[in-house]
Amino acid sequence: MSRNRTTARDDILLPYPPRGGRTMLFGTLFVAGGIALFFANLHRRQRRKEDLDEIIGGAIPTWQRRVHQNNHPSYYPGLQTLQADSIPPRSKPVPPPTREQEGRHVTLATYFARPNNTPESRYQQPTPQRSSKDDPALSYTKSPDYCKSYDKTPKHWRDKKEAAIFNSEL
């Protein structure tokens, strides 16, 4: 029993198809013919577009059209390549934007205190929020000091004082 060991058994290997070369040749020709028909159809559709469009001849408005406009300005009499050329410079600078409305969040308490609260106005942007426990004018957040932005709070000063006392005792 001195057989060579292989990873695949000989009886599992499939034989080649009887006309393998012919199958490969016709398959390749079939795929190549499909690709050739696809590109022939693309060229046919482009020629048809060029025949039907009298103005720009079916050209797709891309960089080629822009280059053609720059090289032949008389061919496009009413067009400008850049519309910014036709805008005159300002004699006075634009005034800075005015702040007509403060974009703060409205709490439900202040919303219901308004005289003109209608059910439709509740869907304003930003929508009214739940009030804080401490101050009904401030909106609820998970961080209670967040509504005071990054100001130093009494809790901050108390912690700093306790840390100074603790460090002096050491």
Q: In which band, very low, low, confident or very high, does the pLDDT at 164 lie, cut at 50, 70 and 90?
A: confident
User: Does 1 or 26 have the greater pLDDT score?
Assistant: 26
Q: Is 169 exposed, middle or buried (0-12, 13-18, 19+ CB in 10 A)?
A: exposed
What tens digit of pLDDT does each residue of 86-144 get? 667 777 877 777 766 555 667 777 777 777 766 666 666 667 777 777 777 777 776 65
Q: In which band, very low, low, confident or very high, does the pLDDT at 148 lie, cut at 50, 70 and 90?
A: low
User: Does 165 or 63 have the greater pLDDT score?
Assistant: 165
3-state secondary structure 42-76: HHHHHHHHHHHCCCCCCCCCCHHHHHHHHHCHHHC
What tens digit of pLDDT does each residue of 36-88 get? 999 999 999 878 877 777 666 665 566 667 777 778 766 666 655 555 666 67
For residue 3, give Cα distances in angstroms to 6, 22, 25, 105, 169: 9, 36, 38, 85, 88
Residue 129, beta-bridge partner list: 107
In this prediction, residue 36 carries a pLDDT of 98
In this prediction, residue 37 carries a pLDDT of 98
